[in-house]
Amino acid sequence: MTVFSIDDLKQAAQIIYQQMLPTPQYIWPQLCEHLETTVWVKHENHTATGAFKIRGGITFLNWLSKSHPDVKGIITATRGNHGQSQARAAKAANLTAKILVPYGNSNEKNIAMRSFGAELIEFGQDFDEAKTEAMRLSEAENLFMVPPFHPQLVLGVASYALELFTAAPDLDIVYVPIGCGSGICGLISVRDALGLKTEIVGVVSNQADAAKQSFEAGRIIETKTANTFADGMAVRSPVEEAFHVYSQGASRIVSVSDHEIAHAMRLYYACTHNLAEGSGAASLAAAIQEKQTIKGKKVGLILTGGNIDTQMFASILKGETPS
């Protein structure tokens, strides 16, 4: 993947800030008490799409419009947040957007993608099957295939890391969930560009742990299923280009259970009154798991998004864990 300079990162951030404001990062006293250390939360649930992916959508479509001016429309696959970002950015660039999601995808994320202008197609049993069909349709219908991972997506997403490290340059460790990898790769890129020593720890579901298995084996490993309600992490096979970055730049990858994720979602709401979707709460779940290890350190948690269906969140607040 392209190595970004500070100038690259700052220029991308300025493109993004034409469409959205920087998101805040706060120290919440109750979370600090719970983890017995200083905790910064980066609130990517405060963007115009409710998730960090909006940033990559802006930079990718900016690049696409300049480098491929004859493109009339895009196509991509998603579980929701990537799709919202691409649909929103495509509409702003006067392009059509066709988005594929697997059957049983979040109903409210589907509604949101349509509201941003997407033509939504349901296909396959999981993200990986939807992605394969999107690639086929891109050829058949002459649409530009937006991959789940691309240097221009990472460049945009990295702006949240630039904001966080500018506000808190002395963080000892940052926890970030891994789906297709743009979030963790953005963090690693900014940390390295700034010359910081911060540990970057990836987080996956123990039901979708291909990234962790691959990290520990030193090669790509694909799992047969990715059955977690934390849909932003429900990926069966790591993206090779992303794996190359985080396999070298992350300290380790932690797996958390759906029960731990649901608990972290409840804790976020109780301590901050912020809504976190499953993958958005995964970093907190990992920090709780490693509570004894991180005592006395300055910790960053990436709350990547807050897009979860109402009924599911209501059940979680009642103490349940979605199946």
Total domains, the chain: 2
Count the residues in the chain: 323
Query: Are 111 and 46 in a shared domain?
Result: no
Q: What are the two backbone dihedrals, phi and then psi, of residue 149, each rounded to the nearest 5 degrees?
A: -140, 130
One domain, residues 211 and 302: yes
Residues 171 and 268 in one domain: yes
Assign residue 81 the CATH number of its domain.
3.40.50.1100
Examine the domain organization and report whether 252 and 295 are in the same domain.
yes
* Domain co-membership, 213 together with 288: yes
Given 145, 169, 195, which residue is the final one in a domain?
145
Of the residues 95, 127, 145, the one at which a domain ends:
145
The pTM is what? Answer: 0.95
Statement to judge: residues 170 and 137 lie in one domain:
no
Angle at the Cα of 199 (from 54 to 181), degrees rounded to 5?
A: 35
Domain that holds residue 94: 53-145
Average pLDDT for consecutive 10-residue bins of the chain (323 residues)?
90 97 98 98 97 97 96 95 96 96 95 96 94 96 95 97 98 98 98 98 97 98 94 94 97 98 98 98 98 97 97 98 93
Check residue 5 and give its pLDDT.
95
Domain boundary (125, 145, 165) is at 145
Residue 257 lies in a domain: yes
DSSP SS3 for 157:
helix
The Cα 198–Cα 191 span in angstroms is 7
Per the domain annotation, does 293 fall within a domain?
yes
Identify whether 323 is part of a domain.
Answer: no
> What pLDDT does 305 receive?
98
Whether the CB-CB separation of 280 and 305 falls below 8 Å is answered with yes
